[in-house]
Amino acid sequence: MGKIFGTDGIRGKANHYPLTPEMIVRIGRSVAVVFGNQPGAHILIGADTRASGDMIVSAINSGICSCGVNVLHAGIIPTPGIAYLSSNTDTAVAGIVISASHNPYFDNGIKIFDGNGYKLSDQIEAKIESGILDEGSDKTAKPNQEIGRIIQLPDAEDQYLDFLCQCWPKKHDLDGLKLVIDCANGATYRIAPVLFESLGADVTSLFIHPDGKNINAECGSEHTRVLAQKVRETGADLGVAFDGDGDRLAAVDETGHVLTGDQILAICANYMKSQGQLRNNMVVSTIMSNIGLTMALDRMGIDHETTDVGDRRVMEKMRATGAALGGEDSGHIIFLDQHTTGDGLLSALRLMEVMVGQHKPLSELAGIMTVAPQILINVSVKSKPDLNELMALRQVISQVELELNTRGRVLVRYSGTQPMCRVMVEGPNSEITERYCRKIADVVSKTIGEAS
C-alpha cells in the first residue's frame, strides 16, 4: 500500500493530512498531469453531502485547472454516477469523487476513475502518488493563458438517472410494490426517490434531508434499524439502504430482517444463471465473504473465485475471468454487464427484478443461502505493524483455528481506509464464534490498540 492511497482511494479526516487544502491542490495537479495530456481534456468532479466537500472540491479544482485541464463539475451525485459519466462523456479523461463512503461526516476522501469508468490500477495510483509527493510538482503549473476552466454540468444527475432507468427490464414494472428507501442523508437523497417512483413503486423515503453533518448518522447501509422498523410499520415488500456515496446496498425483507451482501449475491447469481446472464458461470467475491456463500454457489453449480478485500480487487478478478457478477459482503455489488463499478441503486433494481421476475417475497429468496455465524470486531489501532510479526497474535489465532478445525475460519486484517484492525471469525454457533472473536480482538487491543 502506498503512503497516501488506501484500498479505495485517499481517505482521512477532512482538514488533516493528507486532506489539507495544500495537499489536495497537489493531488489535483498530479491527477491532471497523469490524465490530462491531450487537448481539450476534462476531468469530472462530483461529491457527496459532507460539509467538507466544498473545501476539497475547491482545492482539487484549483490543482487541476493550474495544469491547464478543465473541470466538469457535476455537483452532488453518487459515486457510480461519476463512473458512468466518465465513460460516457467524450472529453472526459478521468472522474473524481469527493466522499468517504460510509464513514462519518468528519472524514472525507478522494476516489478516482479512469476515462472508461474503472477504478485505477496500482500502477496508475503509484504514478499519481509519486507526483503528489514530488516537491517539484508546482512546476507543472501552466502560464495564465493556459489555465483550465470550471464548467458546470447541470444535467449530470439526469444523465445518470436515464442510465439507471434503461437498466430496468421493460417487461417488468414495480406497480404495487411497497418500498422503503434510506438515503443516508447522502448523495442518493434526490435521485433515489425519483428513480423508484418513476418505475411505479410506492415509495417511502427516509433520511433525505442532508445538512452536511448528518450523512450516515444512525442511517444508511451501516445502520438499518430505523429502515427495518419502517418496513414492518408500513407493511412494505422491501427496504433498501444506501451508504453516503451510493455505491453500497443493504436490503431488508418484508419481515424486517436484514440481508447480507453475500445473500444478495447468491440471490442474483441464481436468477442470472436461470436467465442465461451469468457469464462464464462465475461469481467473484472477497475473502471476507461468508462460508455460506461458497456452499450456496456450490449447490447451484456456480464457480466461485475470491480476491483480497476491496471492490477494486473484485473488479480486477471479474475482468480477468470474464465474470458478470461479483461483490462484497459489505454490499458493494458489481454487475459488469451494465456498469464498471459497484452501484447501490443498480443493485437495488437488480434485486427487485428477481422479486418481480420470480413472484417471490425477499424472505423466501434469501433462503437460498444459509449464513454461517460470523462475528466481526473492529479494533482501533495506533499503528499497523506486520500482523505476522506479532507473536502473541499468531499464537491466539493458531489456537482458535485448531479448536475450530473444519467448523469455521479466522481472518484478521487491517482496514485499508481507517486506523482499525478487523477481526473476523466464523464458527458453528453464535456463542462460540463471538467468544473466539473477542479472544483474538483482546490480544489485538493489548498489543497495538489505541489505549495500549
User: Is the separation of the CB atoms in 239 and 251 below 8 Å?
Assistant: yes
> Hey, what's the cell of 290?
461468508
Report, as ranges of residue numbers, the positions in the chain whose pLDDT lies below 50.
1
pLDDT score for 136:
65
Structural domain includes residue 5: no
pLDDT score for 37:
82
Whole-model pTM? Answer: 0.89
User: Is the separation of the CB atoms in 111 and 119 below 8 Å?
Assistant: yes
Same domain for 48 and 147, yes or no, is: yes
Burial class (CB in 10 A: 0-12, 13-18, 19+), 402: exposed
pLDDT score for 8:
86
Same domain for 165 and 277, yes or no, is: no
Structural domain includes residue 44: yes
Same domain for 269 and 318, yes or no, is: yes
Q: Which of 120, 139, 131 is nearest to 34 (CA)?
A: 131
pLDDT score for 138:
62
Same domain for 29 and 129, yes or no, is: yes
Structural domain includes residue 2: no
Same domain for 356 and 286, yes or no, is: yes
Same domain for 44 and 150, yes or no, is: yes
Q: Which of 342, 354, 334 is nearest to 174 (CA)?
A: 354
Burial class (CB in 10 A: 0-12, 13-18, 19+), 162: exposed
User: For residue 236, what are the domain limits?
Assistant: 160-252
Cβ-proximal residues to 77 (8 Å cutoff; 6+ apart), any chain: 46, 47, 156, 157, 160, 187, 191
Location of C-alpha cell 461469481: 283
Same domain for 75 and 179, yes or no, is: no
Cβ-proximal residues to 133 (8 Å cutoff; 6+ apart), any chain: 3, 4
Location of C-alpha cell 501552466: 142
Q: How many residues does the chain have?
A: 452
Catalytic residues: 101
